[in-house]
Amino acid sequence: MKRVVIFASGSGSNAENLIKFFQNSDNASVIQVLTNNPHAKVLDRCKKLKISALSFNKIAFTQTNDVLNILKSSNPDLIVLAGFLWKFPENILQHFANKVINVHPALLPKFGGKGMYGMYVHEAVVANKETETGITIHYVNAHYDEGAIIFQAKCEVKASDDAQDVSKKIHKLEMKHFPEVVKKLLNS
């Protein structure tokens, strides 16, 4: 049985989607969710879904091996960042080389980098008058949104769309494609 650990910072809709997707799977399951936000709604979702969830602080994540040791004991086959906002530390990336992936709400390399997340991305897409946007699922490396691209899906941006409209389109793409890409990676 393949093991997935999810990192999330906010509401956790992508985390819940992944948990539910793998609930009845014969070959993979989400075993744990970790968050840097002790008030994140993802913790409530995990409680309802009976999934182990822990929150940690910046010191545990970046200055000690506390989070790395939690991951070592969980022994995941894949670490999935689903709306996780902190840069991933080298010690975890080195130990879990090519096992950490992220979903980004734009077509990288456009609209990536530090500070480009959530509505900031959608607002930039609209302000730049883009005619299309989408999602990028990529490996995580030491730099924001610069890891190798695994998968992209596109959607149209109409001239009348505002950032909220774009957000809804991106959310649909994430719900549809993210679990399938995770499944493919686990099976490869």
Instruction: State the catalytic residues.
Output: 104
For residue 188, the model assigns a pLDDT of: 87
**pTM for this predicted structure:** 0.95
pLDDT of residue 185: 96
pLDDT tens column, 93-136:
999 999 999 999 999 999 999 989 999 999 999 999 999 999 99
Which residues of the chain fall short of a pLDDT of 50?
none
CATH class of 2-187: alpha beta
3-state secondary structure the chain: CEEEEEEECCCCHHHHHHHHHHCCCCCEEEEEEEECCCCCHHHHHHHHHCCEEEECCHHHHHHCCHHHHHHHHHCCCEEEECCCCCCCCHHHHHHCCCCEEEEECCCCCCCCCCCCCHHHHHHHHHHCCCCEEEEEEEECCCCCCCCCEEEEEEEECCCCCCHHHHHHHHHHHHHHHHHHHHHHHHHC
- The domain limits of the chain are 2-187
